[in-house]
Amino acid sequence: MINPTTCPPVVSRSTLLGSVDAAGATLDGASTYWTGALARGAMPWDVAGDAARWWSAMTVRERPRWSTPNEVVWESPVMRLRDFTHGATDDVVPTLVLPPQAGHSSSIVDYSPRQSQMQTIRAAGLTRAFSLDWIGATQATKHATVDEFLADIAHAVELIGSPVNLVGDCQGGWLAAIYAALHPERIHTLTIAGAPIDFHAGDPVIGGYVELFEPSFYAALVASGGGVLPGSYQLGGFIAIKPQDEVARQWGLLNHLDDAEHVERYRHFEDWFKHTQDIAGDFYLWIVEHLFRRNALISGELEIGGERVELGNISCPLMLLAGSGDHITPPPQVFAAREHVATPAEDVVQRTASGGHLGLFMGREALRDHWPPVLAEVYARSTPGAVSRERAVRESRARTDPGRAAPQPIP
């Protein structure tokens, strides 16, 4: 099932560097632990106790939770609509977030009370805030298609009231772009964060792996899951791309077992990262073929429901946010959007955070320094009369904990 052609350079490089860095993280972690153990005069039973506590914290996972009070106002077999308005009736255009959809809970957009994209949105003045919540695939929904997802998004927009400020993170971003291209009259502004629009731009690691394996490989993955792509497969793939992050996190836990704050941060992240959900098989295989392989969204060949998806139909204000250290979606894949839409240059906002992929959606730097200016621009276009961008930025920034302790490594 492996393509007989030469392994893509990006895959070879990623595999080599990942192996070297993982080995380095192992040596560093082990050295730190044993140095500390000798310094405190640890006996064999002390080391055994450390191992037991480490194993318990590493393996016991709970279902991730949404941090901000919200109300599920509608549900379909594949998604829920969560209302974060808290009863607000402000004269402001409603905002709808499409979270990442890659085998994890959508709650990453409301990760914690002080690291929440939803709270950052509300604090910027966009108080009529909503988020979709992707439901893990089951045997009943394993044949769900992109048409079904788009139809449900359309229904959510109808319930909220269009036009909307549409925010798409990661795979929610390209889905938002497709919806906006098909229904431009329903979109007030479009914000895309860490989402591939040109899947072949930059130096994409995931694209390299897709090129490495034949289509039959991905079909076999879905078949092995009984028609769904198991979320555990997605998780394993993400870890394999940067194994050093996983290694560093586990050694970091062992070396901070007596630091209650560190252990709690570790548990919180791992509960989200390791508690996976399945993806509809038909939807997954469509993504692999039409987007990752054919790059049809950029080539103009993408058709949905008999209608061609033309990014040139998008002329609303466009906000683009990428991470310079994002190995999942390199910045060129995000910023390519501006070359294919009809939005005037003066209505395009483009920002680059320094973190990685997940950090764009829940990292302190992105939420304090990059989302607030982006959201201030959205807010300025979403309410009548003059508004203060400075105030929107200031209040939005205040929603994120500045962080006094080192955060967990974020892939």
Nearest-angstrom CA–CA distance, 75 and 372: 30
Surface-to-core class of residue 384, CB atoms within 10 Å of its CB (0-12 exposed, 13-18 middle, 19+ buried): exposed
pLDDT digits (tens, 9 = 90+) for 173-188: 999 999 999 999 999 9
pLDDT digits (tens, 9 = 90+) for 37-86: 888 888 888 889 888 998 998 888 889 999 999 999 999 999 999 999 99
Q: For residue 232, what are the contacts with CB-CB under 8 A and spacing of at least 6?
A: 103, 276
List the domains of the chain with CATH numbers. 1-36+52-401 (3.40.50.1820)
pLDDT at residue 106 is higher than 80: yes
Average pLDDT over residues 18-36: 79
pLDDT at residue 113 is higher than 50: yes
What's the N-to-C CA distance of the chain in angstroms? Answer: 28
Backbone angles phi, psi at 56, to 5 degrees: -65, -45
| Parallel/antiparallel/unpaired status of strands 307-308 and 303-304 | antiparallel
pLDDT at residue 323 is higher than 70: yes
User: Alpha helix (H) ranges present in 225-259?
Assistant: 231-241, 243-254
pLDDT digits (tens, 9 = 90+) for 372-404: 999 999 999 999 877 788 998 999 999 898 875
Nearest-angstrom CA–CA distance, 70 and 312: 35
pLDDT at residue 112 is higher than 70: yes
Tell me what pLDDT residue 407 has: 43
Amino acid sitting at position 175: L
pLDDT at residue 408 is higher than 50: no
DSSP 173: H
pLDDT class of 16 with cuts at 50, 70, 90:
low
> In this predicted model, which residue has the larger pLDDT, 21 or 356?
356
> In this predicted model, which residue has the larger pLDDT, 326 or 311?
311
Surface-to-core class of residue 39, CB atoms within 10 Å of its CB (0-12 exposed, 13-18 middle, 19+ buried): exposed
Q: How many CB atoms lie within 10 A of CB 71?
A: 12
Tell me what pLDDT residue 350 has: 96
Tell me what pLDDT residue 406 has: 41
Show the tokens assigned to 367: 């939420």
pLDDT class of 8 with cuts at 50, 70, 90:
low
Average pLDDT over residues 147-173: 97
Average pLDDT over residues 105-114: 95
Q: For residue 283, what are the contacts with CB-CB under 8 A and spacing of at least 6?
A: 137, 144, 145, 146, 149
pLDDT digits (tens, 9 = 90+) for 256-306: 999 999 999 999 999 999 999 999 999 999 999 999 999 999 988 999 989
Nearest-angstrom CA–CA distance, 357 and 104: 14
Tell me what pLDDT residue 241 has: 79
Q: Residues 233, 274: contact at Cβ < 8 Å?
A: no
pLDDT digits (tens, 9 = 90+) for 194-250: 999 999 998 777 777 777 788 899 999 999 999 999 999 988 888 887 888 888 999
Tell me what pLDDT residue 18 has: 59
Q: Residues 180, 187: contact at Cβ < 8 Å?
A: yes
